Amino acid sequence: MSLHSLFDAAGPASPGGRMRAVRIGEDHAVAIVETAVPHLAEGEILVRPAACGICGTDLHILRHGFPGTRYPVTPGHEFAGHVVAVGPGVGHVREGDFVAVDPNVVCGHCRWCRAGRPNLCLQLQPIGVARPGAAAEFVATPASNAVVVRESLGAGVAALIEPLACALHAVNSAQGVKDRSVLVLGGGTMGLLIAIVSEVLGAGRVTLSDPAPAKHAVARRAGIADVVEPGALGPDCHDVVFEAAGVRGALEQAMTLVEKTGVLVQVGVHDEDATVGFNPFTIYEREIRIIGSNSCAGKFPAAVDLMADIRDRAAVLLGESFPVWDFAMAVDSMVAGHAVKTQLRFS
Domain with CATH 3.40.50.720 in the chain: 167-292
8 A C-beta contact, residue 345 and residue 49: no
Report the catalytic residues. Answer: 57, 60
Report the pLDDT averaged over residues 153-161: 97
Q: How far apart are CA 111 and CA 108, in angstroms?
A: 9
What's the topology of domain 167-292?
Rossmann fold (3.40.50)
Confidence (pLDDT) at 274: 87
Confidence (pLDDT) at 5: 39
Domain with CATH 3.90.180.10 in the chain: 3-160+317-345
Domain at 3-160+317-345: CATH architecture: Alpha-Beta Complex (3.90)
Report the pLDDT averaged over residues 301-326: 96
Confidence (pLDDT) at 36: 96
Confidence (pLDDT) at 60: 86
Confidence (pLDDT) at 67: 84
Terminal Cα-to-Cα distance of the chain (whole angstroms): 21
Percent of the chain with pLDDT over 90: 83
DSSP secondary structure letter of residue 73: B
User: pLDDT class for 8, splitting at 50, 70, 90?
Assistant: very low
Number of H helices, E strands in the chain: 11, 17
Reported as a single tens digit per residue, the pLDDT across 186-241 is 999 999 999 999 999 999 999 999 999 999 999 999 999 999 999 999 899 999 99
pTM assigned to the model? 0.92
